[in-house]
Amino acid sequence: MLDYLAGRFGQLLLVLFGVSVVVFVTMHRLPGDVATLLLGDRATVASLARLRHQLGLDQPVIVQYWRFLAGALSGDFGTSLRDNRPAFGEVLGAFPVTLELTLSALLLAIAIGVPLGVVAALKEGTWIDTAITTPTLFGVSMPVFWLGLMALLLFSEKLGWLPVGGIMPIGIHMARPTGLSIVDAALSGRAALVWQAVLHLILPAATLATIPLALITRITRGEMLASMHLEYVRTARAKGLPEGRVIRAHILRNALIPVWTVIGLQLGLLLSGAVLTETIFSLPGLGRLMVDAILARDYPVVQAGAVFVATVFVLVNLGVDLCYAVLDPRIRRR
């Protein structure tokens, strides 16, 4: 297991180094001159040259990369070109909103998807199976940005059940020590605020959960069906175990190992979907921050956001792999 861990950690460092190179290279060839961007078109040649020198843009590329890497390792990506605040601070400030959204969506997708997949497999070939699997086909083809708009139209505008967007009703101010709206509302000790935070999260989380929910249902069903016909299951039945125990201890337990990997892989999908979901529901998360930064050519924020999200993504994937190795001993012996 130690060898496996060391190997995975080595890969992680190599990938993170690659991530830093990709982000540096892409941002290095941003259209337009950064000094002109900062000082405006009317800046004199001398002041532009001075700023380029200050920013190190007149240095060889390899020196610039080294400075970027050293800064990145200490969380210093420079200051935002829009409001002069530390770029990494802006990213950290927006991240809890995205974290809350993606975790809620993932929990929703697992809580509904796994039981649906199990039921569909146990009722294979019946109308129940069809009633579960057909919508999953639609689910994986759904553009989340359209679904979000339609959900807003129906549940907020027509039915008036849920709020239109944001994380709290306009005019309500609340201290945000953690940045997670439900946790902050709970810390404020006001039940009404917790309820509001939950109401504001329902539509975005449900929208974002659509595709992972469909995928988790399909994978759970498929893995259950594959496990149901294996010999050890037949043996378990032959020795007279009750059907409930065969399903829980023999089929489901083994079927869920590959499902766990798929759940881990959903994170990339969720972080991508969060960019669009945050835009539709006016959530001040990391995705929205990055899109705004790109449109405003605020490259320090884009760099900070890209390195941060890729690092989180790689670390979560490592965590999923390690859990997988714990769940399935064959992996760590390879």
Partner 1 sequence: MSESAVLGGPARLGGALARPAARIGLGIVLLFLFLCAAAPLIAPHDPYEQELMSALQPPSLTHPLGTDQYGRDVASRVLYGARYALLAIVVGDGLALALGTAMGLVGGYLGGAADAVIMRLTDVLLAFPYLLLALIIVAALGPSLLHSMIAIGIVYTPQYARLVRGQVLSVRQSDFVRAARALGASSGRIVLRHVAPNSLSPVIIMATLQAGSVVVETAGLSFLGLGAQPPSPDWGALLADGQNYFLTAWWIATFPGLAIFIAVLGFNLLGDALRREFDPRAR
Residues contributing to the site for partner 1 (CB under 8 A): 11, 14-16, 18-19, 21-23, 26-27, 29-31, 137-138, 140-143, 145-147, 149-150, 152-153, 157, 267-269, 271-273, 275-276, 279-280, 290-291, 294-295, 297, 299, 302, 306, 309-310, 313-314
Measured CA to CA, the distance from residue 321 to residue 216 in angstroms comes to 18
**Which residue number, 241 or 291, has a Cβ lying nearer to partner 1?**
291
Helix (H, G, I), strand (E, B) or coil at 306: helix
The distance of closest approach from Cβ of residue 112 to partner 1 in the complex, given in angstroms and rounded to an integer, is: 21
Which residues, including other chains, have CB under 8 Å from residue 213's CB and lie 6 or more apart?
108, 109, 112, 113, 136, 139
Measured CA to CA, the distance from residue 109 to residue 273 in angstroms comes to 14
Measured CA to CA, the distance from residue 83 to residue 15 in angstroms comes to 32
The distance of closest approach from Cβ of residue 210 to partner 1 in the complex, given in angstroms and rounded to an integer, is: 11
Closest by Cα among 253, 327, 273, 304 to 91: 304
CA distances from 44 to 30, 50, 153 (A): 21, 10, 51
The distance of closest approach from Cβ of residue 142 to partner 1 in the complex, given in angstroms and rounded to an integer, is: 6
Bridge partners (DSSP) of residue 79 are 86
Contact 116, 214 (CB under 8 A): no
**Which residue number, 199 or 314, has a Cβ lying nearer to partner 1?**
314
The distance of closest approach from Cβ of residue 304 to partner 1 in the complex, given in angstroms and rounded to an integer, is: 12
**Which residue number, 215 or 246, has a Cβ lying nearer to partner 1?**
215
The distance of closest approach from Cβ of residue 167 to partner 1 in the complex, given in angstroms and rounded to an integer, is: 19
Contact 36, 48 (CB under 8 A): yes
DSSP label at residue 79: B
**Which residue number, 19 or 185, has a Cβ lying nearer to partner 1?**
19
The distance of closest approach from Cβ of residue 205 to partner 1 in the complex, given in angstroms and rounded to an integer, is: 18
**Which residue number, 142 or 202, has a Cβ lying nearer to partner 1?**
142
**Which residue number, 26 or 54, has a Cβ lying nearer to partner 1?**
26
